[in-house]
Amino acid sequence: MNTKLFCAVIFSFFAFCESVCPNGWVRYEHSCYHFGHTAYNFLDSQRHCEHYGASLVNLESKDESDFLKGFLMLLSDQQHWIGLSDATNEGIWTWYPSEKRAEYTDWDHGQPNDGTGGNCGAIVASHNYHWVDVPCSRQFKPVCELVDDESIIVG
Ligand SMILES: [Ca+2]
Ligand SMILES: [Ca+2]
């Protein structure tokens, strides 16, 4: 079902669709974003997001990437996981959980450069908030994304 229409018809009196993000999550366009407080390895970060019915963030446009970058610059944390991995096929970077190939990318100059030793994508302050490939065992904080369709149709 068309989410916007669904919202307009059912919830317009309550402005439900504008405030659907869970407490502590940040809205941008059609998603809610959560900035984890604890550092985990990549897979445990993904599990942390799945606990909320979300996934590590998928950055599919420059607008979304710029929003996230701006927000991360306000935080004191230096490193965050995004839902990007080339663990399945070296050099083919795909988003969790769709496995869709990343079309928009924001790699820092010279990245990715770690080959099979770097199969997970992160945004780090020391690279001016561009993307880097790093070992998936590193301990970074997760950025989770909950897309509206998923958050509204639950239950
Ligand atoms: Ca790799
Ligand atoms: Ca790298």
Is residue 143 within 8 A of residue 57, CB to CB? The reply is yes
pLDDT of 24-41, one tens digit each?
999 999 999 999 999 999
Domain-embedded: residue 42: yes
Q: Which ligand is nearest to the CA of 133?
A: 2
- Residue 7, in any domain of the structure: no
Kind and range of the H or E run holding 73 = helix 62-74
Expressed in angstroms and rounded, the spacing between residue 64 Cα and the centre of ligand 2 is 22
Residue 43 lies in a domain: yes
Q: Is residue 154's pLDDT more than 50?
A: no
Count: domains in the chain: 1
Calculate how far, in angstroms, residue 49's C-alpha sits from the geometric centre of ligand 2: 24
Q: Which pLDDT score, from 0 to 100, does residue 20 have?
A: 77
50 dihedral zone (left: phi>0; alpha: psi -120 to 50; beta):
alpha
Q: Does 114 map to a domain?
A: yes
Distance 136 CA to ligand 1 centre (A): 10
What residues contact residue 8 under an 8 Å CB cut-off, 6+ apart? 17
CATH number at residue 31: 3.10.100.10
Residue 99 lies in a domain: yes
What integer pLDDT is reported at residue 147 of this predicted model?
94
Range of the domain at 67: 23-153
For 39-80, the pLDDT digits (tens) are 999 999 999 999 999 999 999 999 999 999 999 999 888 999
pLDDT at site 93: 98
Question: Cis ω on the peptide bond leading into residue 142 (within 30° of 0)?
Answer: no
| Ion ligand 1 contact residues with beta carbon within 5 A | 86, 118-119
Task: Please check whether residue 1 lies inside any domain of the structure.
Answer: no
> Does the pLDDT value for residue 15 go beyond 90?
no
In a domain, 84, yes or no: yes
